Amino acid sequence: MNGAHISLVSLGVADIERSVRFYEALGWVRSGTGDESVAFLQGGNIALGLIGRAALAEDANVDDSAAGFSAVTLAVNLPSEADVDEHFQKALAAGAAGRKPPQKVFWGGYSGYFADPDGHLWEVAHNPFFPLDDTGAIRLPGETE
Amino acid sequence: MNGAHISLVSLGVADIERSVRFYEALGWVRSGTGDESVAFLQGGNIALGLIGRAALAEDANVDDSAAGFSAVTLAVNLPSEADVDEHFQKALAAGAAGRKPPQKVFWGGYSGYFADPDGHLWEVAHNPFFPLDDTGAIRLPGETE
């Protein structure tokens, strides 16, 4: 295995249990590993870590400076526009804030954005040009090298 | 497929080609899809999107407010401490800024952090408690439900 992969995405949050409930409502499955300071959930090929924001900053040895636009978005690609609508509604019902209702977008797909309880941005998209396997993993077309 | 997965992680960057070179040096493979405004790279089961920071904010319909601590980290888990050291050094050689040299950490693993050219934080870790498959995907132990 080389290092070109992502095993785990960690999100700094204000209330771990609130965030666990949110992600469980979206289908993520909590693992028995973890403790009161961190929760881990599995979804497809990815583990999601939920940890206090200050603790995450400390772990990474960076300042917990005021949040701005994180310039990171996490995308859930789904097989159809109807699947996108359904997942987006499920997120709103679980307490997400809508940022962009699912809509046809300039690149030929269908996409919306919501923010989780801490403002972390998720895109929910159907991209007819990106094939998905049955775990939701994209296999990019036309690798150039 | 339910919506509990991550297909694509998008990072807002200042210079797409600089970032492509950085991630190629770490083993990510650029796809022929994309154009001058966005690049896509494959790594394991994940696609990485590199897009201008302002364009990403506009796509998500949020303000491109000043960057602080993003409260998002992306982790590369590897099979051994030696693999962690090697990948960390490769990142530094490619232009990453070291944030925390790989070291034994309180939870019983071995972990370091670097920042990519735009400050996005990557953890490189060996976690003896999290089994990895051959794509680098974690299979969390002891799912509770």
| A142 within some domain | no
Contact B85, B102 (CB under 8 A): yes
Q: Give pLDDT tens digits for B77-103.
A: 999 999 999 999 999 999 999 999 999
Listed in sequence order, the DSSP H helices in chain B are 16-25, 53-60, 81-93
CA distance B112 to chain A (A): 8
| B141 within some domain | no
What does the pLDDT read at residue A33? 87
| B144 within some domain | no
| A40 within some domain | yes
The total number of structural domains that make up chain B = 2
Last residue of a domain, one of B62, B85, B108: B62
CATH number for the domain that contains residue B115: 3.10.180.10
In this model, does residue A96 exceed pLDDT 80? yes
User: What ipTM is given for this predicted complex?
Assistant: 0.89
Task: List the single best residue of A23, A36, A40, A70 to mutate versus B (max B Cβ within 10 A).
Answer: A70
- With tokens 């735009």, the residue in question is B118
DSSP string, A3-57: S-S--EEEEEES-HHHHHHHHHHTT-EEEEEEETTEEEEEETTEEEEEEEHHHHH
Which residue range(s) make up the domain with A114? 67-136
What does the pLDDT read at residue B135? 82
What does the pLDDT read at residue B49? 96
What does the pLDDT read at residue B136? 83
Q: How confident is the model at residue A139 (pLDDT cuts 50, 70, 90)?
A: confident
The verdict on A73 and A111 lying in the same domain is: yes
Q: Give pLDDT tens digits for A14-50.
A: 999 999 999 999 999 999 888 889 999 999 889 999 9
Give the whole-angstrom CA distance, residue B111 versus residue B123.
7
In this model, does residue B7 exceed pLDDT 90? yes
| B143 within some domain | no
Give the whole-angstrom CA distance, residue B84 versus residue B82.
5
Q: Give pLDDT tens digits for A60-79.
A: 989 999 878 999 999 999 99
The verdict on B121 and B98 lying in the same domain is: yes
Last residue of a domain, one of B62, B88, B107: B62
Contact B1, A131 (CB under 8 A): no
Contact A61, B113 (CB under 8 A): yes
- Nearest-CA residue of chain B relative to A79? B1
What does the pLDDT read at residue B50? 96
Give the whole-angstrom CA distance, residue A19 versus residue B45.
25
Last residue of a domain, one of A42, A65, A88: A65
What does the pLDDT read at residue B143? 56
Pairwise CB contact (< 8 Å): B76 & A5: yes
The verdict on A104 and A129 lying in the same domain is: yes
